[in-house]
Amino acid sequence: MNDLNNKVAIVTGASRGIGALIAKSLAERGAKVVVNYSSSKEAADEVISDIKSKGGEAIIVKADVSQTADVKFLFDETIAAFGKVDILINNAGIMINKLIEDTTDEDFDKLFDINVKGVFNTLREAAKRLADNGSIVNFSTSANRMMMPTYGIYVASKSAVEQLTRIFAKEIGHRHINVNSVSPGPTNTELFSVGKSIETIQRLASLTAYNRIGEPADIIPIILFLVSDEAKWINAQNIGVNGAMA
In a domain, 151, yes or no: yes
H helix and E strand count, the chain: 9, 7
Q: Domain of 211?
A: 8-241
In a domain, 210, yes or no: yes
Task: Say if residues 236 and 207 touch (Cβ distance below 8 Å).
Answer: no
In a domain, 16, yes or no: yes
Q: CA end-to-end span of the chain, whole Å?
A: 32
Q: Angle at which helices 17-28 and 41-53 pack, to 10 degrees?
A: 20
In a domain, 3, yes or no: no
Q: Which of 55-69, 129-143, 173-187, 188-202 has the lowest mean pLDDT?
A: 188-202
CATH number, domain of 191, equals 3.40.50.720
In a domain, 169, yes or no: yes
Residue 71 DSSP one-character state:
H
pLDDT mean over 225-236? 97
Q: Provide the percentage of residues in the chain whose pLDDT is more than 90.
A: 91
Alpha helices in 35-104 (DSSP H): 41-53, 68-82
Q: Indicate whether 52 pLDDT > 90.
A: yes
Mean pLDDT of the chain: 96
pLDDT mean over 4-21? 96
Catalytic positions: 154
Q: To 10 degrees, the CA torsion angle through 38, 72, 74, 69?
A: -20
Residue 136 CB: number of other CB atoms within 10 A? Answer: 26
Question: SS3 of 148, please?
Answer: coil
Against a cut of 0.85, is the pTM above it? yes
**Residue 194's pLDDT band (boundaries 50, 70, 90)?**
confident
Q: Which of 2-6, 37-41, 66-70 has the lowest mean pLDDT?
A: 2-6
**Residue 200's pLDDT band (boundaries 50, 70, 90)?**
confident
- Give the count of domains, the chain: 1
pLDDT in tens, 81-103: 999 999 999 999 999 999 999 99
- Spatial separation of the C-alpha atoms in residues 117 and 69, rounded to whole Å: 13
Q: Indicate whether 1 pLDDT > 70.
A: no
Question: SS3 of 244, please?
Answer: coil
Q: Residue 14 contacts by C-beta under 8 Å, 6 or more apart in sequence?
A: 20, 22, 23, 33, 35, 36, 37, 44, 47, 89, 91
In a domain, 209, yes or no: yes
Q: Strands across the sheet with 238-241, in order?
A: 58-62, 32-37, 8-11, 87-90, 135-139, 178-184, 238-241
- Spatial separation of the C-alpha atoms in residues 179 and 155, rounded to whole Å: 20
In a domain, 49, yes or no: yes
pLDDT in tens, 143-165: 999 999 999 999 999 999 999 99
pLDDT mean over 199-219? 92
In a domain, 94, yes or no: yes
- Spatial separation of the C-alpha atoms in residues 63 and 68, rounded to whole Å: 10
